[in-house]
Amino acid sequence: MDKKRAINLLTYLNIIDLFGISLALFAAFLFQFILKELPCPLCLLQRLGLLGISFGFLLNVRYCVKPNHYAFILLAAIFTASVALRQVLLHIVPGSGAYGDAFLGLHLYTWMFLLSVIIVFYTAIMLCIPDKYTYHDLTEQPAILRKLSYLAFMCLFALAIANVVSTWLECGLTACPDSPTQYKVLS
């Protein structure tokens, strides 16, 4: 496989990763707005961690695949995993209850921990692929690749703005409650 095709393949993989993170954030919003499960402060930090992971993938798409972008992804994934693990440990004791409804037998914070661990391993594997750190010009990429990258960026940008707005509605300009039951700004 020539270098240009390999770079395009890596760019496609990063775009798929971006859409996967967008899907996870969108699912969190579905739980928030359809099932009326307001995110706790730890849930909001996990969403922030997902946005951090997506930022690293966006850097790979826009400025070529680089080790420092993957390092950023690793740090954000470790942060997200640690926050999710903290929440798992808060609710692991029998009788302590859980936060929110389960999805396929696991709560969202458990899924977030598993997703973060998968991203850590995936990123470590991607760092081991040789000869992928070359500069590429976005104007040389196929048009479909450029359009997909812009679409992925717009999806994540909209989800990031939606996160800021929903967090403000829930918490206002003060600390978020541990177990929110209503939107602070709307009540």
pLDDT value for 102: 64
pLDDT value for 67: 80
* Distance (Å, whole) CA 57 – CA 74: 11
Q: Token pair for residue 118?
A: 């998968």
Confidence of residue 14 (pLDDT cuts 50, 70, 90): confident
Q: Name the residue with higher pLDDT: 4 or 12.
A: 12
Cβ proximity of 86 and 46 under 8 Å: no
Half-sphere exposure of 84 (CA within 13 A, CB side): 23
The answer to the question of residue 185 being in a domain is: no
pLDDT value for 138: 57
Number of H helices, E strands in the chain: 5, 2
The answer to the question of residue 110 being in a domain is: yes
Average pLDDT, the chain: 81
* Distance (Å, whole) CA 61 – CA 63: 6
Cβ proximity of 80 and 49 under 8 Å: yes
Report pLDDT digits (tens) over 56-76.
998 888 777 778 888 899 999
The answer to the question of residue 14 being in a domain is: yes
Q: Which amino acid is at 152?
A: A
The answer to the question of residue 9 being in a domain is: yes
The answer to the question of residue 183 being in a domain is: no
The answer to the question of residue 184 being in a domain is: no
Report pLDDT digits (tens) over 87-136.
888 877 777 666 666 667 677 778 889 999 999 999 888 888 766 655 55
The answer to the question of residue 181 being in a domain is: no
Region 26-54: mean pLDDT is 86
Confidence (pTM)? 0.82
Domain that holds residue 76: 3-171
Q: Name the residue with higher pLDDT: 178 or 52.
A: 52
Half-sphere exposure of 152 (CA within 13 A, CB side): 27
Total domains, the chain: 1
Q: What's the CATH code of the domain at 52?
A: 1.20.1550.10
The answer to the question of residue 182 being in a domain is: no
